[in-house]
A and B are shown apart, each in its own frame.
Chain A
Amino acid sequence: MPIVKYITTDQLLVWVNALIAAQTVYGVQAKEQRFAYDALADAADLRLDFDVTILPPKKFFQPLVETIMKFHVDGHYESVTSEEPFIIFGVHPYDVVAIAQMDEVFRANYADTHYLSRRERATIVACDIQNASPSMFAACMGTATVEDGFDILLTKIGDGYVVDVRTAKGEALLVALGDAPDADAGTLARREQFWDDARRFLNKYLLKCKPTDLPALLEDQYEHAIWEHNAGLCYSCGSCNMVCPTCYCFDVQDEVDWTLEKGTRVRKWDSCMLRDFATVAGGHNFRRRREERYRHRFYRKGQYLWQRMGQIACVGCGRCTTACTAKIANPVELYNTLMEG
Chain B
Amino acid sequence: MTESTASQDIYLPMPATIEESKLLTAVDRFFRIRLSSGAELGHMPGQFVEVSVAGIGEAPISLSSSPDTTGVFELVVRKIGRVTDALHALPQGSPVGIRGPFGTTFPVAEALKGQDILVITGGIGLVPVRSAIQYMLNRREDYGEMAILYGTRTPADRLFTDEIEDWRARENVTYLETVDRGDEGWTGNVGVITTLLPKVEVSPVSTRVIICGPPIMYKFVIAALAARGIPLEHIYVSLERRMKCGVGKCGHCQINGYYTCLDGPVFNYAQLSDVPEAI
Contacts and interface: CB of A to CB of B under 8 A. Distances in A.
Nearest to B81: A281
Contacts of B270: none
A160 B95 CA distance: 62
Contacts of B223: none
Nearest to A251: B244
At the interface, is chain B mostly helix, strand, loop or mixed?
loop
A280 B248 contact: no
Interface string B9-30: 1111101000000000000000
Consensus secondary structure, chain A interface: mixed
Given A114-B9, A114-B11, 17 more contacts: A75-B95, A76-B54, A79-B7, A106-B249, A111-B8, A112-B10, A116-B1, A117-B1, A249-B250, A251-B250, A254-B55, A263-B55, A270-B251, A278-B241, A286-B241, A286-B277, A308-B257
Interface in A107-136: 108-114, 116-117, 120
Interface string A39-80: 000000000000000000000000000001101111111110
Given A69-B9, A280-B240, A252 B57 contact: yes
* Size bin of chain B's contact surface: 35 or more
Contacts of B276: 222
Given A72-B54, A117-B5, A280 B257 contact: no
Contacts of B15: 75-77
A155 B200 CA distance: 73
B254 interface: yes
Nearest to A120: B1
Contacts of B5: 81, 113, 117
A117 B5 CA distance: 9
B56 to A, nearest CB: 6
Interface of B: 1, 5-13, 15, 52, 54-58, 80-81, 84, 94-97, 215, 240-242, 244-245, 247-252, 254-257, 262, 276-277
15 contacts: A68-B11, A69-B9, A75-B95, A76-B15, A81-B5, A111-B10, A113-B5, A114-B9, A249-B251, A249-B252, A252-B11, A252-B58, A254-B54, A270-B250, A284-B215
A278 B252 CA distance: 6
Nearest to A117: B1
B54 A73 contact: yes
Nearest to B8: A113
Please tell me the size bucket of the interface on A. Answer: 35 or more
Interface string A225-259: 00000000000000000000000111111101000
A105 interface: yes
A284 B158 CA distance: 22
A304 B241 contact: no
Nearest to B59: A281
Given A81-B1, A307-B257, A113 B6 contact: yes
B11 to A, nearest CB: 5
A215 to B, nearest CB: 10
Contact of B84 (A79, A272, A281): A281
Given A75-B15, A250-B249, A279-B242, A303 B257 contact: yes
B244 A252 contact: yes
A113 B10 contact: yes
A186 interface: no
Interface string A118-162: 001000000000000000000000000000000000000000000
A252 B245 contact: yes
